[in-house]
Structure 1
Amino acid sequence: MAETRDAASLSEHEVRAYLRANPEFLKDNPDMLNVLAVPARDVGAEAGVGAGIADFQRFMVERLRREGEALKAQQGDLIANARANMNTQSRVHSAILFLLDAQSFEQFINAITTDLAVMLDMDAVVLAVETNDLSLPGINQHGVRVVSQGTVDSWMNSSQAVRLDSNVIGDDQLFGPAASLVQSQALIRLDIDPRMPTGLLVLGSRNPEMFDPGQGTELAQFLGRVIERQLRLWLEV
């Protein structure tokens, strides 16, 4: 078996010859650029041996600049997302405080189906209830839609509290005349009480990517839980 030569025994000529024979070496091993001491200019031309010996320092600076620009872009995206999340959180908190200030059950329902859309910058907000009993309080108010029993489970899993959809076509059964505007939606299950029909809060937006299945659902769940508790208080169940 041939012995491996010590790196210190390699001559400059051999290293040059190897690199010329393997022009892709540094491209395939970019980590070597971090340990090489390199010239700031084309030393081949200055030494009279011909141009073409790469200015590695310039290469590394350009690479670092590209990496810095990419990192800056990533930081910009993170900051933009953080600001958007803070804005959304602020909107939801303000909307919840507004709901808690309702002075009557009718005002509470109206706040959900009318004011919530403005406060959350939605194109449609619907409160749906599974029931055949049209005498239930608030059932005939604007923005409250009646759906048959089992409908909510057909739209989302029974264990699912929130469902987010992007790039959708608004459902007429849910959104009525506003269905043509809706391109993304959030469905929030409302389990008010075992003795009460299942409810559903639906937020619709014309922005096809306002809601996405990959987004977090904490704020939507929080909004849903607050509405559930307020409904229990108003209905005294």
Structure 2
Amino acid sequence: MSSNPKIEDDLREKIISAPDVILEDRDLMRALIAENEKTMGGNIVDLRGIAMERLEARLDRLEDTHRSVIAAAYDNLAGTNQVHRAILRMLDPVEFERFLHDLGGEVADILRVDAIRLVLETEQETDGDHALARLGDVLSTAAPGFIEDYLTGGRNIPQRQVTLRQVQRGRALVYGEDADWIRSEACLKLDFGAGKLPGLLVMGAEDPHQFTPQQGTDLLAFFAGVFERAMRRWLA
């Protein structure tokens, strides 16, 4: 090593006093290692340099994973806050008509869905083919068995409380005039207690990727549980 350094004394003193500044600068360290390899010649394999490259690649992967975990945590927190706001708004009305109006209005806006529909099965005879009778923009009544058929399509498959799926278009019996532009939906099966027929809360979206089977359902299951309890006071 030359005893006559080619760098300024003040810069040299800064480096000597704080060498960690260089060690933490990846670009600078990479340049120093590359220059060191040049001085060693082409016949020498620098195992330390290879190890460092592998460590850098692993660090890059870890940083990517770290960013993904943080992003997922923020998304989950935002989703939780969103559902909590929707629940608080849903619990405000003291009249059933207002409850339904808010459900298709402000609650849908908070949840960022394009349509919300509530389907209640009833033993009473409905219009037409006994499949479904619409009562306003949000509430519909259906003959017993309609909800199971809607969720399973007539197939013998287990039913879940929350079903997320993509669709070619929504069913007009549920969405009415909005059916043509529905591309994904969340179906929340509702249990109103012993001796009562089930209900179904359907959230429809124009975005085909808003609800997909790969997504988690914990928040929507919680929303469904609160909605069931809110509905029981109206059905009592």
**What's the TM-score, normalizing by structure 2?**
0.70
- 1:215 deviates by 2.7
Q: Which runs of 5 or more residues in structure 1 are unaligned?
A: 1-39, 46-50
Deviant stretches of 4+, over 6 Å: none
Matched residues, percent identical? 30
Partner of 2:160: 160
Partner of 1:115: 106
Distance 1:231 1:72, change over 3 A: same
- 1:42 deviates by 6.0
Note the alpha carbon deviations across 1:67-120, whole angstroms, 9 max, x for none. Answer: 111111111111111111111110111111111111211111222222221010
Conserved in 2, the CA contact under 8 Å of 1:43 and 1:53? no
- 1:148 deviates by 3.3
- 1:52 deviates by 4.1
Distance 1:140 1:165, change over 3 A: same
Partner of 1:8: none
- Equivalent of residue 130 in structure 1, options 113, 121, 125: 121
- Equivalent of residue 58 in structure 1, options 46, 49, 69: 49
Note the alpha carbon deviations across 1:151-183, whole angstroms, 9 max, x for none. Answer: 211214565211111465333332222223322
Other structure's SS at 2:68 match: helix
Distance 1:78 1:98, change over 3 A: same
Partner of 2:170: 170
Q: Which amino acid aligns with 2:48?
A: Q
1:41 equivalent to 2:32? Answer: no
Distance 1:199 1:68, change over 3 A: same
Take 1:168 and 1:78, find their aligned partners in 2: how far apart are those partners? Answer: 32
Distance 1:197 1:150, change over 3 A: same
1:149 equivalent to 2:149? Answer: no
**Which structure: larger Rg?**
1
Conserved in 2, the CA contact under 8 Å of 1:186 and 1:211? yes
Other structure's SS at 1:116 match: helix
- 1:133 deviates by 4.3
Q: CA RMSD in A?
A: 2.6
Number of residues paired by the alignment?
Answer: 190
1:77 equivalent to 2:73? Answer: no
Q: Which amino acid aligns with 2:161?
A: A
Conserved in 1, the CA contact under 8 Å of 2:166 and 2:211? yes
Take 1:127 and 1:230, find their aligned partners in 2: how far apart are those partners? Answer: 13
Distance 1:59 1:165, change over 3 A: same
Conserved in 1, the CA contact under 8 Å of 2:121 and 2:142? yes
Q: Which amino acid aligns with 1:165?
A: R
Distance 1:84 1:148, change over 3 A: same
Take 1:235 and 1:134, find their aligned partners in 2: how far apart are those partners? Answer: 18
Q: Which amino acid aligns with 1:185?
A: E
